[in-house]
Amino acid sequence: MSEKSGGWLGRLRAGLGKSSSRLADGIGSIFSERKLDSTTLGDLEDLLITADLGVETALRLTEQISGRRFPADVAETEVRAALASDIAAILEPVARPFEAMVRPEAGPQVILVVGVNGSGKTTTIGKLAQRLREEGKSVMLAAGDTFRAAAIDQLKLWGERTGASVIAQDIGTDPAAVAFDALEQARAQHIDVLLIDTAGRLHNKADLMAELEKVIRVLRKIDASVPHEVLLVLDATIGQNAHAQVETFRELVDVSGLVVTKLDGSARGGVIVALADRFGLPIYAIGVGEGADDLRPFTAQDFANSLLGLPS
């Protein structure tokens, strides 16, 4: 995969800039002039909460720092390094880079992609298609967001860009019909991976649930083992609201993993730590830009170091 200016770690760093400098500067000002004691530990906890790590996670991380029995005049860089390693330990179990399944003759691997409008579903599908194509897989995209014509066109464009075939019907078509048609064609054409786009109109939760349930139900008429993955795409810039989205979508569908997007922007990267700690869902990849190559595996120590402004 091509490395653009600074590489993905550079872009992740730049994206995490806000969260990262807030944390690094904050720790600097807490520990540079003052001793490590219950007051400074309280300040550290507040800082972690402000950086989107969540109350419970912030409390636990602070307790772990306290438990390390640092000398009272500990250097702030040592506190940062310790935090990075504690955060990496939280992230390690969920950092599971997405792997395509090997399914000879058994039909395509089916991946249903869900999330609210604007979270980055269609773009993530495009990026995944790009990656899978580079790995030599055949890929089909199903335009299951039939609510807006622009969404269908956007998916078609990703198909052209990546060499994935696209199954689309008219705007307003039942998404389940599109998904059914796509799976039949993917099987007939011996496609390796079928990625199914969906609409994310969360303001009508009952409708969305019915829509997603129907998509899954009709797909299972063809192959009872599908979908193999339900990817929930989350926009990192929404911060703590990501928790509510995970909870809501888990009520609607059996989410198997997360992709967190827009970590290149004015990101609020701390939220990933809170999500990992609270839900334990695998984080398959992160989005660090709008381009085809801007999907990256999520790696625990790199991410933790970036977040704390430390070199990797």
Ligand X SMILES: Nc1nc2c(ncn2[C@@H]2O[C@H](COP(=O)(O)OP(=O)(O)O)[C@@H](O)[C@H]2O)c(=O)[nH]1
| Shorter beta-carbon distance to ligand X: residue 52 or 264 | 264
* Dist. CA 164–CA 112, nearest whole Å: 16
Query: Which residue type does 267 have?
Result: A
Which residues face 165 on adjacent strands? 140
| Shorter beta-carbon distance to ligand X: residue 107 or 115 | 115
Q: Residue 213 Cβ, how far from Mg ion at the closest point, in Å?
A: 20
Structure tokens, 54: 């969540």
Sole window of 17-25, 102-110, 180-188, 289-297 interacting with ligand X (rule: CB under 6 A): 289-297
Sole window of 106-114, 138-146, 233-241, 295-303 interacting with Mg ion (rule: CB under 5 A): 138-146
Q: Which does 282 bind (CB under 5 to 8 A by kind): ligand X, Mg ion, none?
A: none
Q: Which does 115 bind (CB under 5 to 8 A by kind): Mg ion, ligand X, none?
A: ligand X
| Shorter beta-carbon distance to ligand X: residue 190 or 205 | 205
Which one-letter DSSP state was computed for residue 228?
Answer: S
Sole window of 25-33, 51-59, 249-257, 260-268 interacting with ligand X (rule: CB under 6 A): 260-268
Q: Is 159 in the site for ligand X (CB under 6 A)?
A: no
Q: Is 289 in the site for ligand X (CB under 6 A)?
A: yes
Query: Which residue type does 72 have?
Result: A
Q: Is 146 in the site for ligand X (CB under 6 A)?
A: no
Q: Is 162 in the site for ligand X (CB under 6 A)?
A: no
Q: In what order do the strands lie in the sheet with 229-235?
A: 165-167, 139-142, 193-196, 109-114, 229-235, 257-261, 283-287, 295-296
Q: Angle, to 10 degrees, between the axis of helix 76-91 and the axis of helix 300-307?
A: 140
Q: Is 97 in the site for ligand X (CB under 6 A)?
A: no
| Shorter beta-carbon distance to ligand X: residue 76 or 197 | 197
Q: Is 269 in the site for ligand X (CB under 6 A)?
A: no
Pairing of strands 295-296, 283-287: antiparallel
DSSP string, 107-163: --EEEEEE--TTSSHHHHHHHHHHHHHHTT--EEEE----S-HHHHHHHHHHHHHHT
Q: Is 261 in the site for Mg ion (CB under 5 A)?
A: no
Give contact residues for ligand X (rule: CB under 6 A): 115, 117-123, 200, 233, 261-262, 264-265, 287-290, 294
